[in-house]
Amino acid sequence: MRARYGASPLHLIAHLVALPLVAWALLQFIDRPDALRILVWLALSAVVHDLVLLPFYSTLDRAGQRAAPGPAINYVRVPALISGLLLLVFLPAIANKGEPSFHRVSGLTYDGYFARWLLITAVLFAVSGGLYLLRGRTT
Amino acid sequence: MTPPGPFRPSFWRSPLRGPWLTALLGSVLLVLVTIVAVTGFLSHAAYQPDLAGNAIVDPGRDLPLSFTWPAGWSYLYAVTQGLHVNVGLVAIPFLLAKLWSVIPRLFAWPPAASPAQALERLSIGLLVASSVFQFVTGVMNIQYWYAFRFNFVVAHYYGAIVFVASLALHIVVKMPVIVRAYRERGAARSDLVALSPADPTISRRGLFAVVGAGSLALLLANVGETVGGPFRRLSLLAPRRQVIGPGPNDFQVNKTARAAGISADMTGPRYRLALRSGGRELSLAREELLAMEQHTATLPIACVEGWTTTQEWTGVRLADLARAAGAGAPDGALVRSLQQHGPLRIVTLNGPQARHPDALLALKVNGADLSPDHGYPARIIVPGLPGVHNTKWVGSIEFA
């Protein structure tokens, strides 16, 4: 078994428990009119991080490391990472993406979200710059 | 022959990658997503999908997980759903770091050396797809960006089942690797360790600090809409951070009267509340409701999107309305809104909810008449209930 299959029987049994459950979940919505869109988004979800987001931020990071070699890069990297995370997660509000439906149901708008994200970004880099002045230049 | 680029092990040069780092990131992530998954399924149960009008996911195609959602603690849903959304946000940086830590595996060559490995790669694909799908759709939903144009609840529910199944499988399959990684720490040999590592620019401890700082930033940016009060405004990117004004009705609206299609004509002098029990029907004007014994309770409205607002409500106890309609202590109540279109305009409350002494048909909030957006002439407010089940513009109540 191990020689032909490549792992213990438990490995196979675990897959034969989980995969039918996954198939069941997928079959429950397969006849809905929006099923294809759900499946397309699932398929995109499988690749969007590994083939888009990660290469994108790795390339940025490599460029940063060439510009500022050594651990000093972290004084740029860390605030950029936190600012980027906030942008990634709150993109709908920051870029006014959900505003028509948000305004319709809540009566509110996304005014000011982009400005506040810019200010948060400025504060993050200011704190990082302050830390660099205090202790970064010696390392 | 191995293709060039990322398919060559020498391409991956970070000195941080290794089984111990991945195991540690995975362990933290496991704790976080367990909280998110459990509170997510609790939210599904809190909607009481087994009662008339409540189901969004077809009950014939659901797991038999529903139970009588209690009314005993008014903040129950505010806490479970606040955890779901905010811990979900906290988990995002750990998910990204975890995916980063294992990225060389995506390019392993040959793609599968055995049937076992092929099966495992398929299940990892399902795990990555469903986890990214769950976080992306959840984050879009709390900000009302419905670019995906499918039913969010249905997709997020079945997506969760795929996620939990593939995650449980992943943990079972990887348990020996996890145990070895913790036992051997830095000494563990693995294909994740770079063959020719670059000079380190950050330590593993530093990486954890950065990921944790990212989580903290996301939490602080949002959590004010959950805890409310003075913290609401401090969460600079939370969708429901606005403090609308000082008036008694100036708090967050889930759905405006306009969006629900409620006109002044429907709620004006013509308005009558219909109460039904058995074959009997009773029709009451708003003045007649105001003439009944009034009760005041401070209760939260907790939305599925993770925001909460607590107000002081005054109105008639549902139990008193049941008695007026000729029913005894109610075993449930089917509530219809005047709203003509849209989901959840018919909702059924369970027995403990209908009988709770703080379960009200509210006529006033903070001492003033309800505003049209908050459900004038009358709305339901029940302890521990998902926000949207606190039906506004109530047209009729049928007691069981």
What is the per-residue pLDDT across B267-292, written as a single tens digit (0 to 9) for each?
999 999 999 999 899 999 999 999 99
Q: How far apart are CA B318 and CA B340, in angstroms?
A: 23
Residues B271, B217 share a domain: no
According to DSSP, residue B374 is labeled G
Under the banding of pLDDT at 50, 70 and 90, the label for residue B343 is: confident
pLDDT of residue B65: 84
Q: How far apart are CA A76 and CA A54, in angstroms?
A: 18
Q: How far apart are CA B12 and CA B207, in angstroms?
A: 17
pLDDT of A139 higher than 60 = no
Tokens representing B285 are 């004007």
Region of poorest pLDDT, from A43-57, A73-87, A124-138, B10-24: A124-138
Residues 23-82 of B with CB under 8 A from A: 58, 61
Q: Which chain A positions have a beta carbon within 8 Å of B104's beta carbon?
A: none
Question: What percent of chain A is modeled with pLDDT above 90?
Answer: 89
Q: What is the pLDDT of residues B9-29, one digit of tens each?
A: 999 999 999 999 999 999 999
Measuring CA to CA, which residue among A65, A70, A66, A112 is closest to residue A93? Answer: A112
In total, how many domains does chain B have?
2
pLDDT of B81 higher than 80 = yes
pLDDT of residue B219: 98
Residues B271, B170 share a domain: no
Q: What is the pLDDT of residues A69-107, one digit of tens each?
A: 888 999 999 999 999 999 999 999 999 998 999 999 999
Last residue of a domain, one of B210, B234, B258: B234
Q: How far apart are CA B43 and CA B160, in angstroms?
A: 12
Please name the residue of chain A whose CA is at the shortest distance from the CA of residue B131: A45
Under the banding of pLDDT at 50, 70 and 90, the label for residue A138 is: low
Last residue of a domain, one of B199, B215, B234: B234
Residues B174, B99 share a domain: yes
Query: What does DSSP say about strands B394-399 and B273-277: parallel, antiparallel, or unpaired?
Result: parallel
Question: What percent of chain B is modeled with pLDDT above 70?
Answer: 99
Tokens 């675990």 appear where?
A14
CATH of the domain at B298: 3.90.420.10
Residues B240 and B322 sit within 8 Å (Cβ to Cβ): no
Residues B163, B221 share a domain: yes
Residue type at B21 in one-letter notation: L
Q: How far apart are CA B304 and CA B109, in angstroms?
A: 44
Residues B192, B46 share a domain: yes
Q: How far apart are CA A46 and CA B265, in angstroms?
A: 51
pLDDT of residue A6: 93
Residues B120, B137 share a domain: yes
pLDDT of B35 higher than 80 = yes
Q: How far apart are CA B21 and CA B13, in angstroms?
A: 15
Region of poorest pLDDT, from A57-66, A130-139, B289-298: A130-139
Torsion of CA A84, A89, A90, A94, to 10 degrees: 50
Q: Which chain A positions have a beta carbon within 8 Å of B106's beta carbon?
A: 50
Residues B126, B11 share a domain: yes
Extended strands (E) in chain B: 273-277, 280-284, 295-302, 308-317, 332-337, 346-350, 360-365, 368-369, 379-381, 394-399
pLDDT of A2 higher than 90 = no
**What is the average per-residue pLDDT within A129-136?**
90
Residues B59 and B50 sit within 8 Å (Cβ to Cβ): yes
CB-CB under 8 Å, A49 with B132: yes
ipTM: 0.96
pLDDT of B187 higher than 80 = no
pLDDT of B258 higher than 70 = yes
* CB contact A50 to B (< 8 Å): yes
pTM above 0.95, yes or no: yes
Please name the residue of chain A whose CA is at the shortest distance from the CA of residue B93: A85
Under the banding of pLDDT at 50, 70 and 90, the label for residue A136 is: low
Q: How far apart are CA A86 and CA B147, in angstroms?
A: 20
**What is the average per-residue pLDDT within B177-189?**
86
pLDDT of B384 higher than 60 = yes
According to DSSP, residue A133 is labeled I
How far, in Å, are A18, A40, A46, B168 from residue A43 at the CA level?
19, 5, 5, 20
Residues B145, B29 share a domain: yes
Residues B37, B99 share a domain: yes
Q: What is the pLDDT of residues B195-218, one digit of tens each?
A: 999 999 999 999 999 999 999 999
pLDDT of residue B49: 96
**What is the average per-residue pLDDT within B291-304?**
98
Q: Which chain A positions have a beta carbon within 8 Å of B168's beta carbon?
A: 18
Look up the domain containing B389 and give its range: 243-399
Give the angle subtended at the CA of B90 by the CAs of B85 and B95, to the nearest 5°.
110
pLDDT of B73 higher than 90 = yes
pLDDT of A68 higher than 90 = no
Last residue of a domain, one of B201, B234, B267: B234
* CB contact B161 to A (< 8 Å): yes
Residues B228, B254 share a domain: no
Q: How far apart are CA B314 and CA B295, in angstroms?
A: 6
Best of B11, B106, B137, B162 to disrupt the A interface (most A CBs within 10 Å) is B162
Average pLDDT score over chain B: 96
Tokens representing A3 are 């020689």
Phi and psi at B301, nearest 5°, equal -105, 120
- Beta-carbon contacts of B90 under 8 Å, excluding residues fewer than 6 positions away, are B32, B215, B216, B218, B219
Residues B225, B84 share a domain: yes
Tokens representing A5 are 């299959």
Q: How far apart are CA B124 and CA B170, in angstroms?
A: 7
Q: Which chain A positions have a beta carbon within 8 Å of B165's beta carbon?
A: 18-19, 21-22, 25
**What is the average per-residue pLDDT within B33-45?**
98
Q: How many Cβ atoms are within 10 Å of B378's Cβ, its own excluded?
A: 27
* CB contact A95 to B (< 8 Å): no
Beta bridge partners of B284: B273
Residues B219, B75 share a domain: yes
Tokens 């049994």 appear where?
A13
Residues B375 and B395 sit within 8 Å (Cβ to Cβ): no
